[in-house]
Amino acid sequence: MNVVMISPGYPVEMAYFTQGLAAAGATVIGVGDQAPTAVPQPAREALAHYMQVHSLADGDAVAAAVRAIARHVHLDLVECLWEPYMLLAARLREELGLPGLTIRQTMPFRDKELMKAVLDEAGLRTPGHHSSDTVAGVWAAAERLGYPLIVKPIAGAGSADTYRADSPADLDAILPMVRHVPQVIVEEFIDGEEFTYDTVCAGGQVLFENICWYRPRPLLTKLHEWMSPVIVSLRDLDAPDLQPGRALGAATLKALGFRDGFTHMEWYRKADGEVVFGEIGARPPGGRMVDAMNYATDADLFAGWAEAITRGRMSQPVQRHYNAGIIFKRAEGAGRITGYSGLDRLMAEFGEYVAAIDLLPVGAPRRDWRAR
């Protein structure tokens, strides 16, 4: 099989999906805007060919490059697991007559209003919502929905430009901060715990399921720098209090007609047990969550995804012996990392349970904690 992988080396986990494709027996052709030498080693080794474009945002240029490839080799699949270029991949599939998500099928995974409209139609519980591209429209939506509410971009990511308003005064203060966002969605605020529902599917069948638990809610970790966000990939998916979320997840995939590949959905569980849809992407989660799932299941989902999309099955065993958590420790202060403290004590106490440690080297600039 000849597979075009868009952005095969960025973000960093793409390199492992690229490697998975080659391991599944595919001939992988990478198209990306990284210089060939900047493509991480696991991807570089896996690529039969790499075509650098000046920018993936230039859809016409990418389409021309892929058409040029298609004149030389028969292409079977175009894959993209990075959110900003999902629609580009859909366009290329349509132009080349390849299977997989079309533009129309991709839109509900990108547009937070559209995705909820599809689910509402299917009778699934979404937060009350209304999208708008004018200030007057936001006020009208707030009037209809009541407070507290959430204002966020219709196609956002990483909780960027996402705000909670408890009153008209709050909303008044928020509006200038979202003025640069072309279209916002105003939503009923759902108070509760936050979980994911992630799958690998083939032929419309769920081959692999996962639930992660965000601690605390991403909106909170976005507000408070001192928090160390924790994501736990849960061992026991049969726990009774997870079943409503799992059922919502399966029903969501059905409503959207999803067939092949990775999905990443978020859902809320209220104190009274009611579960509410959050959002969904037709791609794996970022933030090292696929690593957490791999540790939790003793599986290799990079390879598992690749086998699913190229052969329609996932043959490796998935075992559920562990909860696997990731703790994102944030640096204190600004500038460069000067040192670490407390790790020795942690390792002395919990070392036997620590599967991996990934710290920025001393001297590196600290990460922008608001960026994720």
Ligand X SMILES: Nc1ncnc2c1ncn2[C@@H]1O[C@H](COP(=O)(O)OP(=O)(O)O)[C@@H](O)[C@H]1O
Q: Which residues bind Mg ion (CB under 5 A)?
A: 266
Comparing CB distances to ligand X, the nearer of 190 and 211 is 190
Amino acid in the structure at residue 253: L
219 near ligand X (CB under 6 A): yes
**Burial (CB count within 10 angstroms: exposed 0-12, middle 13-18, buried 19+), residue 128:** middle
Comparing CB distances to Mg ion, the nearer of 260 and 266 is 266
28 near ligand X (CB under 6 A): no
Which tokens go with 118? 């599809």
49, 192, 240, 328 from 126: Cα distances, Å: 43, 14, 21, 29
CA distance 129 to 278: 11
Task: Lay out the sheet containing 129-132: strands in order across.
Answer: 129-132, 184-188, 149-153, 163-165
Comparing CB distances to ligand X, the nearer of 32 and 278 is 278
Q: Could you write out the three-class secondary structure of 5-22?
A: EECCCCCCCHHHHHHHHH
The per-residue b/e assignment along 238-265, b for 16 or more CB within 10 angstroms, e otherwise, is: eeeebeebbebbebbbebbebbbbbbbb
- Which residues, other chains included, contact 193 with Cβ-Cβ below 8 Å and sequence gap of 6+? 213, 214, 217, 268, 269
Among 116, 152, 246, 269, binds ligand X (CB under 6 A): 152
CA distance 65 to 212: 38
The window from 74-82, 158-166, 195-203, 293-301 that contacts ligand X (CB under 6 A) reads 158-166
Which tokens go with 182? 């072309």
- Residue found by looking up tokens 């793409």 in the block: 14
Comparing CB distances to Mg ion, the nearer of 99 and 216 is 216
189 near ligand X (CB under 6 A): yes
Contact track, ligand X, 168-187, x by CB under 6 A: -------------------x
Contact track, ligand X, 302-341, x by CB under 6 A: ----------------------------------------
Among 58, 279, 298, 300, binds ligand X (CB under 6 A): 279
Least Å from the CB of residue 127 to Mg ion = 13
150 near ligand X (CB under 6 A): yes
Percent composition of the chain: helix, strand, coil (DSSP 3-state, to 5): 40, 20, 40
Question: Which element (helix H / strand E) includes 149?
Answer: strand 149-153
Comparing CB distances to Mg ion, the nearer of 187 and 266 is 266
283 near ligand X (CB under 6 A): no
Comparing CB distances to ligand X, the nearer of 268 and 305 is 268
The window from 8-16, 211-219, 252-260, 326-334 that contacts ligand X (CB under 6 A) reads 211-219
Contact track, ligand X, 245-274, x by CB under 6 A: ---------------------x--------
Comparing CB distances to ligand X, the nearer of 6 and 276 is 276
Which residues of the chain form contacts with ligand X (CB under 6 A)?
127, 150, 152, 156-160, 162, 187-190, 194, 217-219, 266, 278-279
